[in-house]
A = this chain, B = another copy of it.
Amino acid sequence: MKLSTKGHYGLKAMYDLALHYGNDPIPLKTVAERQRLSENYLEQLIATLRRAGLVKSVRGAQGGYILARSPEDITVGDVIRVLEGPIAPLECVSEEYLGDCDQFHYCISRNVWTKVRDSIVEVLDSISLADMCREAEEIKQSRK
C-alpha cells in the first residue's frame, strides 16, 4: 500500500508550482532545487503531467512550467491519477476495470478494497493544491 516516488515527487513539484503560481513560468531546475529532487527524473514526471494537461510549458530561456489551471482547480487526486494510474488498491476495484476475475460479482474481499478505494478517493479529491498552500500559510503564521 505504498505510494511510489512518482506520486510523491510529482505532488511536491505541483505544490511548488502552486506556491509560486503567477504569470511567469518556473524553470524545472528551480523546482528541483527547492524540493530537493533529481532534475532529470522530475523532467519525466512533469512530462507526464504536461501530456495530461495539468501543466503548461514554455520553452527557451526564461521558460519553464506553469499550472494549466488555478491551484484551486487542481486536486491531489488529479495529480496522483496521472502519475500513479487509477486509484485502486487492487486492479479489480479500479473504476475502469474490464477484467475477467470469475469471482467478480460476489468476491467479499473485493468489497473491502472497494471501500478502501472510496475512502482514499474522497480524501484525495477533496484536497486542492490551493488547500495545501493555505495550510502552509497557516503554519507559517502560527509560528510568528
Contact = CB atoms under 8 A, between A and B. Distances in A.
B84 A109 contact: no
In terms of DSSP, what is the predominant structure of the interface of chain A?
A: helix
Given A1-B89, A90-B2, A116 B109 contact: no
Contact of A106 (B11, B15, B123, B139): B139
A127 B110 CA distance: 13
Contacts of A76: 112
Interface string A81-100: 00010011111000000000
Contacts of A109: 8, 11-12, 15, 132
Contacts of A58: none
A87 B12 CA distance: 21
A87 B106 CA distance: 26
A123 B127 contact: no
A122 B112 CA distance: 12
Contact of A108 (B15, B106, B120): B15
Contacts of A116: 120, 123-124
18 contacts: A1-B2, A1-B87, A1-B89, A2-B88, A2-B91, A3-B89, A11-B109, A15-B109, A106-B139, A108-B135, A111-B132, A112-B123, A112-B124, A116-B120, A116-B123, A116-B124, A119-B119, A119-B122
